[in-house]
Structure 1
Amino acid sequence: MGALTDKLTDAAFGLGWAGVKKLPEPAAAALGRTIADRAWKRHGKSVRRLEANLARVVPGAPPERLRELSRAGMRSYMRYWMESFRLPAMDKARFGEDVRLSDEQILLDGMAAGRGVIVALPHLANWDLAGAWATAHHGIPFTTVAERLKPESLYDRFVAYRESLGMEVLPHSGGAAFGILARRLRSGGLVCLVADRDLSASGVEVDFFGATARMPAGPALLAQQTGALLVPATLWYEDAPLMRGRFHPPVPVPESGTRDEKTAAMTQAVADAFAAGIAEHPQDWHMLQRLWLDDLEPRTAAAPASASASAEPPGQPVRSADRGEGTG
């Protein structure tokens, strides 16, 4: 049964990439809205989880407001998928026209200085489109991390897709990702990591919308070890076809404290930047999984942050209704 499920999953994504990118853009957008609305009306587990997460982001919101937000959220989520299926076939000139990121000079100055830049993002809008903006519009290649998905053929599809957009994709497994990311940064490169969810033992506990969540230690540890800038970024959708976003001020490395204390302070600063962006655009936060610790099943206490770029991968189509990217 598992092998059959893997084949069906891979076939479904294969059809998406092969079929949706051939549709006219308005037709693809309409298809995404139709799929989103059907899922929203069923009010299944993923939609209920999205509403529970949004209730923390918009405290005091009445049920009808949460339903309104979850519908917009599912449409935003499917817009991500429709865009992602179409990205490899899109005119690269559009990445500069359709994406507007404020304070981009933070990124450009950091790259020009040759010290390396780590961009940390939450699950807002379409980070693949932002990546295409960096590679195609500004000519800045970057490195990211992805966990191996099942089936293996699905992982290969995601890697090939992202590499076609100019990204270097490292496998999460094997323990070598952190060292390679560090080398890329020391040579003045760009590393982009989706970093708003980490349920591993190395996750750092942060205050997030008034409750405790766990986020990856990797971005802060990389900044400490390499001297690279750590820059949070948040994204949101506007009227089609525009996606907007902004680079937040770089997170400094504290001058004193242990490595774990510095990592905790820096990760909290990243979480605060994420929270600001998510609060402004809650409908574009694609968090369809449990995130806060008091929503999780009881588990053993987390170990202190270690020198790992690992994070709970926000994107295992086989295991959850999430996106297919890894984080670091």
Structure 2
Amino acid sequence: MSRPNYFRWEIWMADCSKYNLENHFVVIISNFKMNNKHKSVHCCIITSKLNSYKSRVDIELLKPSQIACETILTLPKTDLLYKLTDVKDIFTKLEVEKNLEIQFQLSNNFINTDIEQMENFLEKGVLKMGNESKLGNLRNNICNLAVENKYEQVIILCNESIKLASNSSLENRNDFLWHSTYHRSLMFSKLGNKEVALDDARESLKYVPSLRNTLSPKYSYSLWRLANCYENIGDIDGAIQIFKNLCKYYKKVGKTASRIEMIFNIYRLKNNLPKMKYLISLIEKMEFNERDTNKIKETLLKDMRQDVINMQ
């Protein structure tokens, strides 16, 4: 019998006796390379004792539970008793990622010492202003060239923006990193480089603000990009799962038309023409407003009708 591989986001029942704990479900958070080269894995405990800690992420297992991002264990693989399932919801994964970032203070966003902040401001204040101005200009040029379909030039500017933002200490540098990785993914898709586009779409999600405190439109844009990339490489199940996550998001923010559009895309990928036509009839009857959708009614209907024509 071959030894099993261990992957990030797998949920296992584990023997936690070395930590004087009872057996617990845990989720593996260490990367694939470590998981398969070393004798141990890093895990977060999953508990059914619910509370309002900001470090907790809700998850539904055998009963309502929470991933405790503040309780990280190093467990020998021999203590992993059996695999239950995987974390499939990107929304949940993103919350765990952000909480781990806070837990280990991996971002300048989470510096919590006044002295550190003051020294950083005094030493780099002038440089920060210069960098922000350069990044702002780059962002404007990226948008302008993208409209003109100058894909290669956009990618060059995105690379420059990512390098500059990555080496800066700007508090809003993640905004520039998100914008550049998102647009670079879009440009690589236009050029037919599907795998690189997919990598950049995934990368852009790292720079989405924490969804625990606010629901960010960047989350929906990145997920939409990711769904398109999955569809382009032929991973239809992956694309459908992304559209399902977007349905949840648009329900939370109250964008009914956008939610219907995501359901429409799910039926499109399932080749269900009758359901697609029914959803078009719903959109035709709806009253639109700025809050409800990212597209005007005429544009949305045009896109949906074209999808129906393409399938007939």
Structure-2-length-normalised TM-score: 0.28
Report which structure shows greater RCO (CA 8 Å, sep ≥6): 1
Higher Cα Rg: structure 1 or 2?
A: 2
Structure-1-length-normalised TM-score: 0.27
